Amino acid sequence: ALRQRLAESFEAALRLAEGRAIAVEHDSGTEHMFNARYACPLCHYSISELEPRLFSFNSPQGACPSCDGIGQQEFFDPARVVAFPSLSLAGGAIKGWDRRNGYY
């Protein structure tokens, strides 16, 4: 009866603590960490249950956060656009962006 009650209490602790619990030995004070999920024992970061969508670049859950699953990144390099950074736009900082063009 005691073993059953202990098991139920520990399961309740796991449920209430998002799958994490620590059991402490009464005599020695030694702590034992338990995790019902996939988790790092050092930093305690845990992930949800593994699913195929986590490994698919077509799924937002599995896509790379940097390239959104496309495999390429677009970036803007101001040094390649602004030829003369000391000038204003009207003064010719960007080639082709002047009053002769008429469009801004």
* pLDDT in the model for residue 36: 83
Residues in contact with 99: Cβ distance below 8 Å, sequence separation at least 6, in sequence order: 90
| Whole-number Å distance between alpha carbons of 42 and 59 | 29
* pLDDT in the model for residue 101: 57
Amino acid at residue number 43: C
Whether residue 28 lies inside any domain: the answer is yes
- Residues 6-36: pLDDT tens digits? 999 999 998 998 788 888 998 999 998 888 8
* pLDDT in the model for residue 37: 79
* 8 A C-beta contact, residue 49 and residue 37: yes
Whether residue 95 lies inside any domain: the answer is no
Whether residue 69 lies inside any domain: the answer is no
Whether residue 102 lies inside any domain: the answer is no
Domain count, the chain: 1
Whether residue 20 lies inside any domain: the answer is yes
Q: Which domain holds residue 31?
A: 1-37
**pTM greater than 0.85 (yes/no):** no
Whether residue 9 lies inside any domain: the answer is yes
* pLDDT in the model for residue 78: 87
* 8 A C-beta contact, residue 35 and residue 23: no
In this prediction, residues 73-78 reach a mean pLDDT of 87
* pLDDT in the model for residue 24: 92
Main-chain phi, psi angles of 46, to 5 degrees: -130, 150
For the cut 70, the answer to whether the pLDDT of residue 99 exceeds it is no
| Whole-number Å distance between alpha carbons of 33 and 47 | 17
